[in-house]
Every structure is written in structure tokens, then in C-alpha cells.
């Protein structure tokens, strides 16, 4: 399966600032996704990152708060904007080789703490 690298692996940020998380895959993939995992919780899908067009956001997540880019088939970024302590979570990138209900494979996540 694809090797997925996320940067940074962790960060501690000040309230009101923004952080951009990068996701790099070692091979071209059709689908890329961003998830949030709040402390002690399960994973929740934030959005599907679409190559060359705006991301598709899930209910409860908006582009102004979580802008996403996907310039090509191997790279995507997620920005967490105007952060508050409630944004302290693990943010995970995942990929699927095709769009036809294939299993997703995950990076190791970015552990974000907001002071």
C-alpha cells in the first residue's frame, strides 16, 4: 500500500494562529481525505480533497475554518485556521487508490495542541 507522510507530526500552537498540515504520498492516488480525531474519540471525516477543485466538506466543517488544497495526485494540505483549544486533536490524512469503495490507508497523523 501507499506510504503516507504527514508533517508536522505534532505541534503546540497559540490561540488565534493558523497551522498548515502537509500530506505527501509516494504514489499517485485517486482519493485523499482529511479526518479529525478528538482526544479519546473516534475518527470524523472533515473533507474529501479534490485535485484541482474545491474540497468537499462534511456537515459541521467549513472551508473558512479548514481550507484544503490538493494541487496534484500525491499531495494535499489542511490548514486549521484561527485555532482555539477546542481544535486540539489529531488530524489524519488518508488515501484510497480508487473511488469505488476501496479501503483507505492512513498517515500517522498530526497531534495538535492549542494553548
CB 61 within 8 A of CB 84: no
In angstroms, what is the minimal distance from the CB of 98 to another protein? 8
In angstroms, what is the minimal distance from the CB of 13 to another protein? 19
Torsion, Cα of 8, 81, 25, 46 (10° steps)? 120
Torsion, Cα of 17, 44, 51, 83 (10° steps)? -10
Q: 45 or 81, CB closer to another protein?
A: 45
Q: 17 or 26, CB closer to another protein?
A: 26
Q: 53 or 98, CB closer to another protein?
A: 98
In angstroms, what is the minimal distance from the CB of 67 to another protein? 20
Q: 89 or 104, CB closer to another protein?
A: 104
- Which residues are within 8 A (CB) of 44 and not within 5 positions of it... i.e. 6 or more apart? 35, 36, 37, 38, 58
Instruction: List contacts with another protein (CB under 8 A).
Output: 1, 4, 31, 33, 42-45, 48, 59, 92, 94, 96, 98-109, 111
How far, in Å, CA of 59 to CA of 46, rounded?
8
Amino acid at each position: 500500500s501507499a506510504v503516507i507522510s504527514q508533517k508536522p507530526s505534532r505541534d503546540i500552537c497559540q490561540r488565534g494562529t493558523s497551522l498548515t498540515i502537509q500530506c505527501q504520498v509516494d504514489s499517485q492516488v485517486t482519493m485523499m481525505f482529511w479526518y479529525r480525531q478528538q482526544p479519546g474519540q473516534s475518527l470524523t471525516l472533515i473533507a474529501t480533497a479534490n485535485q484541482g477543485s474545491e474540497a468537499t466538506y462534511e456537515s459541521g466543517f467549513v472551508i473558512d475554518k479548514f481550507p484544503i488544497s490538493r494541487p496534484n495526485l500525491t499531495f494535499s494540505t489542511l490548514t486549521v485556521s484561527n485555532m482555539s483549544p477546542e481544535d486540539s486533536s489529531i488530524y489524519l490524512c488518508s488515501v484510497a487508490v480508487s473511488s469505488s469503495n476501496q479501503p483507505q490507508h492512513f498517515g500517522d497523523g498530526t497531534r495538535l495542541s492549542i494553548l
